[in-house]
Amino acid sequence: MSYGQHATPRSRGMLRTVLSWAGYAVLVVVLVLGMQKFIICPYTIPSGSMEDTIEIGDNVWSEKITYYFRDVEPGDIITFDDPEIPGRTLIKRAIAVGGQTVDLIEGVVYVDGVALDEPYTQGEPTAPLKTASGVDILYPYTVPEGEIWVMGDNRMNSADSRYFGSIDEASVSGRAVAIYWPLDHIGVL
């Protein structure tokens, strides 16, 4: 096109089409990021700490809506910020919440003096762990208000509250609700 000529109707149509598709792409990215921030987020499981409930390599959905209406409850499988490694997300089962007392006696977990029925642990004994540097845990342990005691279902292979202590409620990013991949593991948690 030489100087002074106007764009042809065809080139204007192509420009509109390109801009329209670019606008759709931006809208999709904004919607996906918004959903991950406020509604639901996918995670891939890197370790065996939740086996046999969740396996290494499983992909899970962690939804955020539930915790807009209620607090974390014992038994919920939650995703939360790793207390030791910034930017990393962990997944564990909530065992006790603020004000409850956790005790480990002869391989059994007790909350407020009641032995937990934990079929998801495959009968593995639960023992205290060597704690992280700067963490001091004495049993029975009363969970401070605003905190949660979490444990992996694979008690023999889980760095959890026995290691790093109870976690801050504010670090919880969601409640794991389903495995969506691989196909042979699909199911509700």
Instruction: Annotate the chain with DSSP letters as a single string.
Output: --TTPPPPHHHHHHHHHHHHHHHHHHHHHHHHHHHHHHTEEEEE--SSTTTTTS-TT-EEEEE-SHHHHS---TT-EEEEE-SSSTT-EEEEEEEEETT-EEEEETBEEEETTEE---GGGTT--B---PPPTT----SSEEPPTTEEEEE-SSGGG--SHHHH--EEGGGEEEEEEEEEESGGG-EE-
CA-nearest of 108, 77, 113, 107 to 95 is 77
Is 37 catalytic? The answer is no
End-to-end alpha carbon distance in the chain: 62
Considering the candidates 62, 92, 161, 166, report the single residue annotated as catalytic.
92
Considering the candidates 49, 62, 161, 173, report the single residue annotated as catalytic.
49
Is 11 catalytic? The answer is no
The residues carrying an active-site annotation are 49, 92
